[in-house]
Structure 1
């Protein structure tokens, strides 16, 4: 209970922005004034929060405002994509102190590639000059599926040879730090929740558009991970019953109608994009940006590719939002920026027409708060979530107890 109450106080201070007084914390957390005072003293002594001046409101002596100490705790985030692996060392309020980006090594044995990531983590920590005693750990966002219990990457698409890679244990041994591992879609949902204000809706689906497409889920202001940590595998939801055949045997799955590589392939067939040069293959991201630019410049075929994709994705969004009864849908991920203009212009209205709950509550559809290239910051938020956020599981006794 003490750990949970401390997390409640930390989370309240973190979300407040301008800070809160002990009186305000007691009111918002529903805790006794003495309990709040004791917790705040421990947090001040630990350097996790700091006093930030006085505030006068009405009669009585001024109240001391408490804020999160940016330098009280740090975390390293690692985002592994089949194309690029990015690293970021951040402070308690998400300021990036050091960062690094490397092509993902798919040629070496997976265990060796992960060990090199461990060396990169040590290097950015050394460059930052951060006190290692204030490093809460390393957060890793990786393509699924994963075995969350053992910290293992099972067999992610587009990453041949990564079969049951004990990623967490390799990185813990290489860095000497605790490692929190999660799917990239879940890490993105955590980051969105972490950067949210108290006024933000508490239930959300996060549509992650990377090399693959998945969904992160937040219900009641808590991230839902599923029984095995693999919530959000939506690749075989049907987005277009008349679409192309999928390797699962059905037609029109997300995997063959909405993925970035699918859109680029369709654009090539229509002559919107040139055939790839085998001697100098363009990246998928550049191809998608070129498709979006062609649509913006009036190319009807390019606009048609993106519009069809938006209609298909709107059907998926509608099904997820109706099934889960959320009040917010957020798009994000490395490949979101080139699609954002078309999706935000077309998806909300289509979803409104398909929604079965629009007479009960509105559904907010938006793009992510994170800027492109900040996926590693989202991975670091996994550590911050574990450190700061109250979780009802903290209140449960172990079965042996």
Structure 2
């Protein structure tokens, strides 16, 4: 209960841009004034919060405003995508102090590649000048499926040979820090919840568009992870009944109709993009950006490729929103920027038509508020979430941290 109450206080302070007094904290959290005072004293002693001046509102003694101490805690984020690996170092208020990215090593042994990632984390910490004692841990976002109990990535698509790779153990050994591992879609949902502040919607679906496509889920302000931590596998939802055959035996699954690589392949088939140059193939991200530029410049074939993709994705999203009754759909991920203009223009009206709750509430469709290229921000937020966000699990006797 003490851990839960502390998390409630920290989360309340974090969500308030102007800070809160002890009196306001007691009122918002529903805790006794003495309990709030004791918790705040511990947080002040540990350097997680600071007193930030006094405020007078009516008669009585001025109230001392409490805010998060940006230098009170740090977290490192590591985002692994089949195409690129990115890193970020965050302070306690979510400011990115350092970030970098590099091509993901899929040629060497996976264990060696992960150990090299750990060495990069160590170098980033050393060069930042941050007090290592203030670093709460390393958050890792990776394609699924995961074996969360053992901290291993099982057999992610597009990452041949990465079978049962013990990510958590290797990184803990190479960095000397606690490591939290989640699927990339879950990390994206956590980042959206974390960055949204007090105005964030309590219920939303986060659609991650990377080399693969998945969905994260937030209900009642809490990230849903599923029984094994593998929530959000939407690759076999049917997006087009007349589409290509999937390896599952059905036709038109997300896996064969909506992935960035299938969008680019379709664009080549209809002449919206040139054929692949075998001597100088372009990265997938560049091809997708070229397709978006062509559509924006008035190329009808390019525009139709993206429109078809948007219609298919709208059908997929409608399955999720009708099942879960959420108020918002958030798109994000490394390849989202190239698709944003087309998707944001064309998905909302189709989703409204397919939604069963239209007469009760609308479903907002937006792009992520996390900057493109900062997917590692979400990974670092996994560490922050464990510290700041109160969850029901903290109230269970014998619950593991």
1:246 aligns with 2:246: yes
Partner of 1:94: 94
Shift of 1:102: 1.3
Query: Matches of 1:238 and 1:52 in 2, distance apart?
Result: 53
Q: How far is 1:17 from its partner? A: 1.2
- Tell me the equivalent position of 1:320: 320
1:258 is aligned to 258
* Paired position in structure 2 for 1:69: 69
Alignment-derived partner of residue 78 in structure 1: 78
Question: Secondary structure of 2:71's match?
Answer: coil
Q: Work out the CA distance in 2 between the residues paired with 1:311 and 1:107.
A: 36
| Distance in structure 2 (CA, Å) of the matches to 1:169 and 1:199 | 37
- 2:192 equivalent in structure 1: 192
- Superposed CA deviations along residues 364-396 of structure 1, whole A, max 9, x for unmatched, are 111000111000111000000011110110100
- CA RMSD, aligned part only? 1.0
SS of the residue corresponding to residue 215 of structure 1 reads: strand
Alignment of 1:154-165 (within 5 A): 154-165=154-165
> 1:94: Cα distance to partner?
1.5
* Aligned match of 2:143: 143
SS in 1 for 2:197: coil
Q: Look up the match of 2:339.
A: 339
TM-score (norm 2): 0.98
Which residue number corresponds to residue 303 of structure 1?
Answer: 303
TM-fit CA distance, 1:200? 2.2
Partner of 1:22: 22
Instruction: Give 2:359's aligned residue.
Output: 359
Once the two structures are superposed, residues 129-183 of structure 1 have per-residue CA deviations (whole angstroms, 9 ceiling, x without a partner) of 1111100000000010100110000000000010000000000000110000000
Displacement of 1:124 after TM fit? 0.3
CA displacement 1:1-43 (0-9 Å, x = unmatched): 0000000000000011110111111111000111111101110
- What is aligned with 2:42? 42
> Partners of 2:8 and 2:96 in 1: how far apart?
25
Displacement of 1:399: 8.2
Spell out the pairing of 1:104-119 with structure 2 (5 A cutoff). Answer: 104-119=104-119
Three-state SS of the structure 2 residue aligned to 1:308 is helix
Secondary structure at 1:140's aligned position in 2?
strand
What residue ranges of structure 1 are gaps of 5+ in the alignment? none
| Contact 2:209 2:332 (C-alpha < 8 Å) held by counterparts | yes
Counterpart position of 2:393: 393
Aligned-pair CA distance for 1:196? 1.4
Aligned residue pairs total 400
Q: Which moved more, 1:12-21 or 1:272-281?
A: 272-281
Q: The residue matched to 2:291 in structure 1 has which SS?
A: helix
Distance (whole Å) between structure 1 residues aligned to residue 328 and residue 273 of structure 2: 34
Instruction: From the superposition, tell whether residues 29 and 102 of structure 1 become closer, same or farther in structure 2 (CA, over 3 Å).
Output: same
Provide the rounded CA distance (Å) in 1 between the counterparts of 2:385 and 2:343.
Answer: 30
Q: Are 1:11 and 2:11 matched, yes or no?
A: yes
2:31 aligned residue: 31
Aligned position for 1:210 = 210
Structure 2, gaps ≥5 residues long = none
Normalised by the length of structure 1, the TM-score is 0.98
Residue-by-residue CA offset, 1:334-353 (whole Å, 9 max, x unaligned): 00001001111111111111
Equivalent-residue separation in structure 1 for 2:399 and 2:7 (angstroms): 23
Cα contact 2:393–2:399 (8 A) shared by 1: no
Shift of 1:327: 1.1
Q: d(CA) in 2 for partners of 1:338 and 1:56?
A: 49
Deviates more, 1:26-35 or 1:354-363: 354-363
Correspondence for 2:268: 268
2:230 pairs with 1:223: no
